[in-house]
Amino acid sequence: MTTAATPAAAPAAPAAPAEDDTDRLRAAAEFVRRHDTATLLPLLLPGLDDRQLHTLTGHLEFAHAALLVFPPDRPSLYADLAACGLTVDTPPLPSSVVRGRLAARHRRDAAGLDVSILRPEVRGADGTRRAVEVFALTVPPGSDLRAVAAHERAHQHEAHLAFEVLRPEPLLLRGLCALLADRGATPDGGGHNPHENGTVLYFTAPAASRAGYRRVELYAPGDHRDVLATHLAAAAPTTRPPAAPPAAPPTAPPATPPAETLLRLLTGAWTTQALAACARLRLPDAIPPDASIDPATLARRTGTHPRAVATLLRYLAMLGLVTAEEDRFRLTGTGELLREDAPGSMRALALMYGGPFYRSFAALDHTVRTGETAFDHLFGENHFDHFARDPELADLFDRSMAASTRMFDPVPAHPVFTAAGRAPAGATVVDVAGGNGELLARVLTAHPQLRGVLLERPHAVEAARRTMAAAGCADRCSYQAGDFADVPADGDVYLLSRVLHDWDDERCRAILRHCERAMPAHADLLIVERLLPADGSASLATAWDVHMMCNVGGRERRAGHYADLLTAAGLDLLGHSPLPLDAALLHARKSTTRHRLPSPTPAA
């Protein structure tokens, strides 16, 4: 690579129109196309001598320019990317680092921030593969996150240039950090992203930088906690002797007393029932969109008691479902999800968790004491049979399952479907126990050349027919009523979405053997499940593990556990990638190193 002694100034970083992220995406892509490591470093770190530049270019490679955008939903994000000529072939990853920075900057609960990372590829002028790193904070219409989006667009805190460390060793990382600091770059946070096992070290660019970006990232594959700890300590404000007597130092907020912490935890049941009552009484449906309402008017519309509904609204305001404006209340983006007609409505889930599953959770101690499923103990049968005998309850369960389908958003972009779509005669996707067809409909919609087969019990097949018809895919899907012993043969891609966590290990092995027996040698198996974290970190999977034990008789598992189940069925786990809502997409194929195991008996 060649360098110029006095490089020309680079174009400024993408401007930030009030609401338009598309221009910023397009400008970032053009920036990445026009620059490489050797031309960019002198702009970023003015005054580099030849030796320093040679050192940096030998150990760093310009990887991407990053920006934060604020789509209302995942399809809108993909549409914006496509409008800029940017395509994404892999599912998005959760961004633990940026999510944490946003939560700290805006004093928000990180769990309420849906931040993902996509890296659409951009080819440099020399053909080198680089990327635009897109952080996407989902801001649904009417969400109270609009103020966060406006602030971030104006200040561009997360826009940066990233360089990958080619041979990340602790001593080298420390030396690179020292060299950047010597040229005026100052540490500005960082973190370790467990979803892709990479360490990021952020710096603020020197004031004299002409690169147009205020922040720089060093990305080091792997877990470099010691270097990261030193870097974060250097980013902390230093204490300087004051010129005048200092004011009294601020006191840290007192720690919450243990009794108060426990009391707040014990009132979790009140929260569940408040949300369920709100949904059951259809309060959100009676509140005008983008308008406020007083309790008396809401009571007249819903046939409720004025003082009682006002008390419930105050509690819902504390939970963040409504905002209080004197004596009037307005739905937040979270509260909107309890409307019947809201996109991605979670009303059915509130009714299910505040109804049958709430009752069975009261017998959790029975499950822990005996190992038996509390739902079966309470209702005298398993939840599949119980719901199947009650059409209204079965419909509620199907709709409650659909409430979490946002985890499916990235699935159709998996390379397996892209490859299947290239088959000359079109390929077939088999959705085993596909429920109401929501996932299969998304796959067929995204890939018009694919055909689908959905296997389900008879009552669910009818719901799937309606889903496919609404999605315009009815002519490309066939249906088969049956159970796991009836997995259709000769498909190209098989789906098992939120199925295995319903069952114990023995039944899981039997289900996987049925799939393996039906799959041709070239077929792929994609599995959607929540994975228990290997490091014990907080995860929805841990909560669902208790739920599955108590109400279903199943369990959540770690990736290694699923790998063992697949191996026992003659399948190999090739890898897994994260999905929204702490879910994961596991990819498996028939094993090439062992013979197929005997077919399961009919009883399995």
- What are the phi and psi torsion angles at 545 (to 5°)? -60, -40
**Do 170 and 226 meet the contact criterion of CB atoms below 8 Å apart?**
yes
Cβ distance 431 to 497 under 8 Å?
A: yes
Q: What secondary structure letter does DSSP report for 129?
A: E
CA-nearest of 73, 81, 131, 109 to 406 is 73
- Biggest distance spanned by C-alpha atoms of the chain: 85
Question: Which residues does the annotation mark as catalytic?
Answer: 501
Interacting residues of 536 by C-beta distance below 8 A, sequence separation 6+? none
Tokens standing for 170?
């602790």
Q: Measuring CA to CA, how many Å separate 50 from each of 9, 54, 185, 356?
A: 19, 6, 18, 71
CA separation for the pair 31, 14 (Å, rounded) = 9
Spatial distance between the Cα atoms of 281 and 118, rounded to a whole number of angstroms:
40
- Quick check: 483 and 511 in contact, CB under 8 A? no
> CA 110: distance to chain centroid?
12
Q: Which two tokens stand for residue 310?
A: 């006002």
Residue 576 DSSP symbol: E
- φ/ψ region of 581 (left if φ > 0, alpha if ψ in -120 to 50, else beta) reads left
- Look up residue 54 and give its amino acid: H
Report how far Cα 261 is from the mean position of its chain's Cα atoms: 28
Q: How far apart are CA 282 and CA 276, in angstroms?
A: 10
Alpha-helix runs per DSSP H in 354-453: 356-361, 364-370, 374-379, 383-388, 391-402, 415-421, 438-446
Helix axes 458-471, 391-402, angle to 10 degrees: 50
SS3 state at 117: strand
Asked if 464 contacts 473 with a C-beta cutoff of 8 angstroms, the reply is no
Q: Which residues have a Cβ under 8 Å from the Cβ of 552 and sit 6 or more positions away?
A: 373, 375, 382, 383, 501, 502
Token pair recorded at residue 395 = 């419909």
**Close Cβ partners of 194 (under 8 Å, ≥ 6 residues apart):** 96, 533, 535, 537
Kindly report the CA angle at 467 between 513 and 471, in degrees rounded to 5? 110
Report whether 432 contacts 513 (CB < 8 A): no
Give me the half-sphere count of Cα atoms (radius 13 Å) on the Cβ side of residue 305.
Answer: 4
